[in-house]
Structure 1
Amino acid sequence: MGQSVTIMGGVKIGNGAVIGANAVVAKDIPPYAIAVGNPARIIKYRFDDETIRKLLAVKWWNWSLKKFEENNHLVKDVEKFLEAHYLPELEEFPEDDFSRQLKTLTGGGYSNLSPTSKQLSRCGLRSSKTSRKQSWTLYLSFGSARKRPTRMLKL
């Protein structure tokens, strides 16, 4: 994501996409696309269709930090990365993209995530208004759903 990018509401940015500096993204950008300009337009894709399909099947963005660090040496060579981690069976699993499971939340609500996120029990957005502006906090709770949030990120 380049500097000073504007993303319009409701727009989805695909995994691995690159957005150029100062772009205004008004429509969805597919995975591994490179988009630039105002309005943002796709100028090319980072990989061919087959490589993109395999990368999406591996779902490396769902890996633990430890697994990612163990495989960091493969990041610069996509072919070796896919040789080590791609299996055709991976494409048979239903889509579990985190961004699709995290619902748009308001007013302190929360959403349960898929069972594949074993430690993360709930998350959501809380809004707080001052006289001048409204701010949002993304919260993530680990362990019991009754616990208070343990990680907060101001948006």
Structure 2
Amino acid sequence: MSAATPTGRLAELGLTLPPVAAPLASYVPAVRSGQFVFTSGQLPTVGGELLRTGKVGADVTPEDAKDLARVAALNALAAVDSVVGLDNVARIVKVVGFVSSAPGFGGQPGVVNGASELLGEVFGESGRHARSAVGVSDLPIDSPVEVELQVEVRS
């Protein structure tokens, strides 16, 4: 695998795609529609276990939440890979990041940067994307963050 491919860049970063996270309800991790793949929201799980729980700005620091968003984005890439293969991604189109926020916490963009920065490292210029960073009162299983992707594929 060449370092010029997303898979190669992941290897250079010392990262491997995890197994696709099992859905928590009645949905699939990712769906292809035409030239696009849409992921379901992905949580920061490793080996099926949520890394942290709680609200950002109270139970979880913004810096830790940024790291968790990176893990959630890696899980989203695994979902994309399961549908089309990561090296078939032409570009990351949009990222939506949800941050379970303590009252008064307004640093959602900095938290979701964890996902955006990973995508930039893996895809270079093709990893630049539109984005929403949304503060919410709660997320599934008390996760601090959730990330979903919309990607364009080559063929």
TM-score computed with the length of structure 1 as normaliser: 0.22
State the structure with more CA Rg: 1
The structure, 1 or 2, with the larger RCO (C-alpha pairs under 8 Å, 6+ apart) is 2
TM-score computed with the length of structure 2 as normaliser: 0.22
Higher helix share: 2
